Amino acid sequence: FLEVQQDMAECGLPQGMLEVLPGITPEADPAVLHEAMRLVDRFQFTGSSAMFKSLVVKALELGNLRLEHAGEVSGLNKVRLDGVSVTHPAAAAGSAWAAMANNGELCTSASLLEFDPKTGDTAQDAKAALEAHAFRLGRDPTDTSLNVLLKDGKTEALEVKTDAGPEGLREWWEKTVLAVPQGSETTLRTNQSLGHCIYAPSIERAVSLAVKEDASCLYCVGAPEDKSAPSARAGTTGAKIPESVFGGMKSYTYAVAGDHDGVGSVQTILNTVRRRGLNWRDQEEAYAQYELTETAEMLVDFLSPREQSAFTKQISNVLEVFEAFMPEVSKPYPGQPLVGAEGQSQLVTLPALRPSRKSLLLPRGVGLPDDIVKVAALCEMSPLREIPVDLHLLGAAQVGKLRVTDPLKSFLRVVEKRLGWRLHWHADEEALVAALRASEYPPYFMCVKDRHMLPVEVLLAVAEQGGYLYEGF
């Protein structure tokens, strides 16, 4: 850490402008981390998912309820082979690199390889193919010929397990991957992973399988039977930050040292991209106008007349942004050589914008907030295949009817029947906390007002699940 500060000073950074305080190292003072988590305004983290969540929880327990936090964190990422043998040069090289990334950089690695037994492959075939892949390893950072730079204490061998053992599938901090056949008991839900890679005989087949998954990052490879032909690749990134507009990160397959083609995506909700504020020049500016659907008109009617006019324009503006940033399909270009392997790759761009999985919270006695109505209208008008929103309401439902009155009562009917929203009624805060801790997906709450005023147990439950509470619309 002292070397980092020294390097920055040598680059001209004024003394004292940047101070690096080691907080999670053997030589660090535990009090430094404790005090930092109590006082810091924003916490940005890269590393283990468990460590990230534990630090956010610690900050909340210390009373830092306004903490902004985000992390590019690890997950039990997997590589899936569908109709492609593990002996295919692209699959063997990519899977080996994905496992080799378990060198302390878990967010770029894979812990599970699902081979396709229909190709005749066995676990031993997968083990042999990956372990036979040659890497140039070393510890000299000035040696540009190296594929993998090793830190002191790190092993050089790649270990391919064929049995999970008593500890089961887990995050490994060494170069390790578990090889299992598709459909085995050792499986992995992709909603628990940061990235998911699929190899198939064609890029079309790989993409069709990928879009059915829940992983934040999807990486698809079309590996044709002609092993001399380029392997088409496409990817999206998300890093589980649904508010991010642009996302780009190194793809773990082929690319510990950096993806030579680059993979990035445009992400929604695109709420950080907006036109300038109201201005007297508005009367001179042309606005696109989109016709509302019948359901969207019903939802907009829940707003005040003044809000209806302004928000209808806002919907058009949002759809304009989608139109402007929707990626065009490009023809794949002759690819570059695979990193550290025979064969070539080629990058293809596909329109693959994906919606975020949204949750909303309606406390008891609040009525019907305009922001929640606007989210519903935008979901209806969205060009994406929106995932039904989870709407959490505090207050038990009576038998046979809801303990609510209009306009909320009518609004709930519309979003439940027309949009497929899932309504979750909770008798009290304890019931809400229990539901959050049992949720399958990280709860991303939108349109939260004054999150620091929410019960600490609610904040802790969201943090423990890797979720977040976004304030405002």
Identify the pLDDT of residue 251. Answer: 29
Q: For residue range 303-362, list pLDDT tens digits in order.
A: 999 899 889 988 888 788 777 766 555 565 566 666 556 666 666 656 556 677 899 999
For residues 190 and 303, state if they share a domain.
no
Mean pLDDT computed over 434-458? 92
For residues 113 and 240, state if they share a domain.
yes
Q: Say which DSSP state 254 is in.
A: S
Chosen domain end from 73, 89, 124 = 73
Identify the pLDDT of residue 327. Answer: 57
Chosen domain end from 347, 368, 384 = 347
- Using alpha carbons, list the distances in angstroms from residue 228 to 90, 93, 344, 355: 10, 14, 8, 37
Task: Assign 445 to helix, strand or coil.
Answer: strand
For residues 135 and 171, state if they share a domain.
yes
For residues 237 and 94, state if they share a domain.
yes
How many domains are there within the chain? 3
Q: In terms of residue numbers, what domain contains 30? A: 2-73
For residues 130 and 101, state if they share a domain.
yes
For residues 360 and 395, state if they share a domain.
yes
Q: For residue range 237-252, list pLDDT tens digits in order.
A: 444 333 322 233 332 2
- Give the pTM: 0.76
For residues 34 and 116, state if they share a domain.
no
For residues 126 and 31, state if they share a domain.
no
Q: For residue range 268-277, list pLDDT tens digits in order.
A: 333 444 455 5
How many CB atoms sit inside 10 A of residue 116's CB? 20
Identify the pLDDT of residue 280. Answer: 60
Q: Among residues 103, 102, 53, which one has the least CA distance to residue 78?
A: 102
Rounded Cα distance, 180 and 116, in Å: 9
Q: For residue range 15-41, list pLDDT tens digits in order.
A: 878 777 777 666 677 888 888 899 988
CA 376 remoteness from chain centre: 23
For residues 240 and 361, state if they share a domain.
no
Q: Is the pLDDT higher at 96 or at 109?
A: 96
- Which one of 46-50, 77-81, 107-111, 376-380 scores highest in mean pLDDT? 376-380
Identify the pLDDT of residue 193. Answer: 65
Chosen domain end from 347, 380, 402 = 347
Identify the pLDDT of residue 19. Answer: 74
For residues 26 and 100, state if they share a domain.
no
